[in-house]
Amino acid sequence: MNTNKSQPENNRTRFREWLKNWEIVANWISKIFTFAIPLVLAYFVLNQNKIQNSVAERAYELKLVELAWNSYLTGDSLSTSKALNLIETLEPKVAAKLASIISKDTTQTNDNRQFAAKIVVNKTTPPLHRKSNRKIVGPSVAVTATTLAYIPSVPQFVNKSENSITFIFDNNKNSDMVEYAIYVIMNGKDLGFLKSDGTVDNSVPTWQKYSEWGTVTVKSLTAGTSYSFKIKARNEARVETEFSPISQSINTLSEN
């Protein structure tokens, strides 16, 4: 009899223990949700803010691109300068692309083209490879600033013979360290770069300082043929300019 009576009691004891354990588990689940739900909500809110900020920043940058481009299209030097100031603040790839277009625009002033070329260099060159006047911490290494070269002037004709043409050009206030390469055009078609001996090479540019070129004489030309010339410069860092405008065509003397 006693055994039969204790069986329900044992069941009730087990149930109470199970219920107690379940209450402990439920409390822990409740605590986890209490902390987890705000964290999850905060995560989504923060990411939503990031997305909204990213969209806003992109829209702002596109507006700057539009303002800069419209300013450049105005065509005058001051507007282009303002455009370049805006372009300089843009994301590197966008800034380099726009500045590259302006740097190659021969209708722009030299100052604006040089500014544009500088932006291209700054936006496409890793910081550790840029020229600057900042001293680098290390074994006595100092990097100095390098100024971009100006595009040389149009070559000016001086003299001619049956097989040679002589001309001069202005260095456009470049420093004495700037080097120049001269390109020869025959009958309106590309011929090649001028070598230091006055003959023409069809592919490899010869770079010489302004004082080394001096008065330029192009030799071994064909009699009675039209020639013209263009020149480009490069600074000490070997950053090249665009070519100068092409010179007036000059015909060598015809053979007697």
Nearest CA to 229 out of 246, 214, 253 is that of 246
What's the pLDDT at 47? 60
Q: Is 147 left (phi over 0), alpha (psi -120 to 50) or beta?
A: beta
Number of domains in the chain: 2
The reply to whether 216 falls in a domain is: yes
One domain, residues 124 and 209? no
Nearest CA to 113 out of 209, 213, 239 is that of 239
User: 201-248 pLDDT, tens per residue?
Assistant: 877 899 999 999 999 999 999 999 999 999 999 988 888 888 999 999
Tell me the pLDDT of the chain averaged across its residues.
77
One domain, residues 120 and 176? no
What tokens were used for 196? 């230091």
One domain, residues 210 and 117? no
One domain, residues 184 and 231? yes
pLDDT band, very low/low/confident/very high, at 1 (cuts 50, 70, 90): very low
One domain, residues 1 and 122? yes
The reply to whether 175 falls in a domain is: yes
User: 116-145 pLDDT, tens per residue?
Assistant: 788 887 777 665 444 444 443 444 444 444
One domain, residues 168 and 112? no
Nearest CA to 214 out of 150, 167, 252 is that of 167
User: 73-107 pLDDT, tens per residue?
Assistant: 777 777 777 777 777 777 788 778 877 888 777 77
What's the pLDDT at 112? 76
CATH of the domain at 167: 2.60.40.10
User: 34-72 pLDDT, tens per residue?
Assistant: 666 666 666 665 665 555 555 556 665 666 666 676 776
**Is the model's pLDDT at 168 over the cut of 90?**
yes
Nearest CA to 157 out of 254, 243, 229 is that of 229
Distance CA 193, CA 118 (A): 26
One domain, residues 181 and 229? yes
Residue 221: give the domain boundaries.
156-251
User: 2-28 pLDDT, tens per residue?
Assistant: 455 566 666 667 766 776 777 777 777
What's the pLDDT at 7? 65
What tokens were used for 252? 């060598």
One domain, residues 163 and 229? yes
